[in-house]
Structure 1
Amino acid sequence: MDLHVKVLDDGVVERAKARGLDVVVYAPHFTRWPTIARRAAAFSDEDLLVVPGREIFTGPWYDRRHVLALDLDEPIPDFVTLEGAMAELRRQAATVLAPHPTFLSVSLGREQLREYRPTIDAVEAYNPKHLPWHNRRAQSLASDLDLPAFASSYAHLPRTVGEVWTRFESEIRTAGDLVDALESGAQRRLFHRSGHRHRARKLLEFSHLGYENTWKKFDRIALSGMEATHPGHVAYGGRFDDVRVV
């Protein structure tokens, strides 16, 4: 299974099946949980299970920390404090994953991983956007903190789907099965493709960060108005006003 992808359409589903995937976790940016869940259900079939996920942007733009959540009962907005997000995730008994740890300025660092270790179910140990030393550091963190690891394509580009995968020894047929496997620390193995094509995919994904963190960021902040996942959005009914940072 590919435990974190940002894109989902018919082509992505076709590619995932061609690459032998049984499960993908779909967690797009700035999209509310009900929308993610509906899209995941619409693209699931007997051959591919699409599980909804929510990558929450905690903190302000200049110091944001990403947290990946599965099995939410209620939506959680972006741009709330890390403490506020983690408290809400604990309240909902959600499954919590740490994507791309210590990577640039968008990840949980060693301090946060240690502090929230009881809440975190797994740490990402391989990600194509990482440079080699980032992956080595992530693997070391998971080992040092005695946390289970996972790997994902973190695909922002459709052709990256299936470049990386996690294989569980237990059978995963439903989103509940996946949640149980992650929360129980079930046995798993991490895999990724190799060779020049994989290196090219990694380079393209890393390069995509430039677009995400320059023009796209400006568009989000200055041009697009209030995001659907902004804590001040009417959909959240003011529930997160005490922990919002923007």
Structure 2
Amino acid sequence: MHVKLLDDRVVERAKARGLDVLVYAPHFSRLPDIRARAREHTDDDLLVVPAREVFTGPWHDRKHVLAVGLSDPVPDFITLDAAIAECDRQGAAVLVPHPDLLSVSLGLDDVRRFRERIDGVERYNAKCLPWQNEAMGRVVRETSMPAFGSSYAHLHSTVGEAWTAFETSIDDESALVRALRTGAPRRVMRRSGVGHRLRGVAEFTHLGHENTWGKVDRLLLSGMEPTHPDHIAYRGRFDDVSVYRR
């Protein structure tokens, strides 16, 4: 919980690592497309749950929200309040990935503000460096929120480097949403050793690719990317909460 890429190699590696469920939430992809790809790679041994990591706020100060259990599409670059309210409306679980990471995350004050509407905070992220994971741990401890861990894999090699072990069975998407929203008992697990650290460093360096201006220009200024709030697919529903009004 969660991965950014999904193909046969990801599925093979997840099974080899003993995982039963993957949460798939790629950047800048619309929910119907995510759901279709998740169905394609789900089988009797691995459940792939579709999700959205919504980029709230403007690009330079975006705060990521991981929504699991959405029934209707939600765009990026709307206000944080609007994104959480939409998750509430749809009964989706609201999770905080990589808290306090650079300028892309909810911080301690945000988690405290929305604690009644947040279902979990990430405790360990395989993409992050040790001191960043320590900062995440402080947010979890100081808010007493249910924790989760993830590989946050953008690279095949990172799948299964960190995971969340629930004490209850997760047989379908609704079971996962229910476990998250009720604070079901779980443990945050991760691998260790030199290989784990090297794979984490490789993931972290991938941040440079994610944050280039060329990508920002393509995503924001074209106005036609799948998750831009101006996209025709949203039928103007989010015009009043978009942070990039035209």
Please indicate the TM-score interval, normalised by the length of the shorter structure: over 0.9
Q: Secondary structure at the match of 2:153?
A: coil
Q: Secondary structure at the match of 1:151?
A: strand
Shift of 1:91: 1.5
Residue in 1 that maps onto 2:5: 7
Q: Determine which of 226, 230, 241 is the counterpart of 2:228.
A: 230
Residue in 2 that maps onto 1:132: 130
Q: Determine which of 52, 55, 58 is the counterpart of 1:57.
A: 55
* Root mean square deviation, CA, Å: 1.4
What letter matches 1:102 in structure 2? D
Q: Please, which runs of 5 or more residues in structure 1 have no aligned partner?
A: none
Shift of 1:217: 2.5
Q: Distance in 1 between matches of 2:111 and 2:203?
A: 25
The 1:114–1:39 alpha-carbon spacing in structure 2 relative to 1, beyond 3 Å, is: same
Q: Determine which of 120, 123, 128 is the counterpart of 1:122.
A: 120
Shift of 1:218: 4.1
Residue in 1 that maps onto 2:91: 93
User: Residue by residue, what CA displacement relative to the aligned partner does 1:30-72 show, whole Å, maximum 9, x if unpaired?
Assistant: 0001110111111000000000010000011111000000111
Shift of 1:176: 1.3
TM-score, length of structure 1 as denominator length: 0.95
Q: Secondary structure at the match of 2:73?
A: coil
Q: Distance in 1 between matches of 2:129 and 2:6?
A: 25
Deviates more, 1:42-51 or 1:126-135: 126-135
TM-score, length of structure 2 as denominator length: 0.95
Q: How does 1:1-246 map to 2 (within 5 A)?
A: 3-214=1-212, 217-218=215-216, 220-221=218-219, 226-246=224-244
User: Residue by residue, what CA displacement relative to the aligned partner does 1:143-201 show, whole Å, maximum 9, x if unpaired?
Assistant: 21111000000000111000111111111111111111111111111111111111110
What letter matches 2:96 in structure 1? A
Q: Distance in 1 between matches of 2:111 and 2:221?
A: 34
Shift of 1:81: 0.9
Percent identical residues: 61
Q: Secondary structure at the match of 1:5?
A: coil
Deviates more, 1:33-42 or 1:215-224: 215-224
Deviates more, 1:212-221 or 1:105-114: 212-221
Q: Distance in 1 between matches of 2:108 and 2:122?
A: 13
Deviates more, 1:206-215 or 1:40-49: 206-215
What letter matches 1:168 in structure 2? F
Q: Distance in 2 between matches of 1:121 and 1:103?
A: 19
Q: Secondary structure at the match of 2:240?
A: coil
